[in-house]
Amino acid sequence: MEDYHMGYDYKKEYIRWKEWKDREEKILRQHHFNEQKIEELHEFDLEQFNAERRFRRNQNVTKDIFFYMQPVHDKKESYSIEDLLDQIENETLFEYLKYTDSIVLDIIILKQHGYNVREISQILGLSMSSIYRKIKKIKELLKM
């Protein structure tokens, strides 16, 4: 299982990507593929790798035990804001959520139902950075 407390290891992932890319380019050259096309593919794949890296680096901010989706057989799932508030044991977090705007509560409920930040952004019509900021504030309250 992936360790969610570790950041994205760019160097390790780049080495893995580079090894894969070298094998692919070797095969293309063995089949006399155009060298210019090989270079264009290399640049395209590198752009895709970097886009994934940026996404994965930003994604870590939402990984916390608070958002883990684990099967719970003896508890009812949170489907409403009232249910969510009833389940919170951290008093500071409870007070914050009790008086916060409904968008924060919607974000939490959507996260609990497995939506990612990009999907939540589309559903609520907010920027992804705004959602990340709200989640970060909740995480800070959880540490108190």
**Mean pLDDT rounded to a whole number for the chain:** 74
Residues 48 and 78 in one domain: no
Q: How many distinct structural domains can be found in the chain?
A: 2
Residues 27 and 79 in one domain: no
Residues 76 and 52 in one domain: no
pTM over 0.85: no
Q: Which residues contact 13 (CB under 8 A, 6 or more apart)?
A: 49, 53
Residues 120 and 55 in one domain: no
Nearest residue to 104 (alpha-carbon basis) of 63, 76, 65, 132: 132
Residues 97 and 57 in one domain: no
C-alpha distance from residue 108 to each of 54, 79, 112 (Å): 23, 11, 6
Domain membership flag for residue 3: no
Tell me the residue range of the domain where 50 lies: 10-61
What number of other Cβ atoms are within 10 A of residue 104's Cβ? 16
**105 — pLDDT class (breaks 50, 70, 90):** confident
Q: pLDDT at position 108, please?
A: 80
Q: pLDDT at position 127, please?
A: 92
Residues 73 and 138 in one domain: yes
Domain membership flag for residue 32: yes
Handedness of CA 75, 81, 82, 85 (dihedral sign): positive
Q: Kind and range of the H or E element at 11?
A: helix 10-30
Q: pLDDT at position 67, please?
A: 54
Q: Report the percent of the chain where pLDDT is more than 70.
A: 62
Handedness of CA 53, 59, 64, 70 (dihedral sign): negative
Q: Are 142 and 66 in contact (CB under 8 A)?
A: yes
Q: Which among 22, 40, 61 is the end of a domain?
A: 61
**58 — pLDDT class (breaks 50, 70, 90):** low
Residues 78 and 123 in one domain: yes
Instruction: Give me the mean pLDDT over the 40-58 stretch.
Output: 80
Domain membership flag for residue 4: no
Q: Which of 23-27, 33-37, 93-97, 128-132 has the lowest mean pLDDT?
A: 93-97
Domain membership flag for residue 17: yes
Residue 4 has pLDDT above 50, yes or no: no
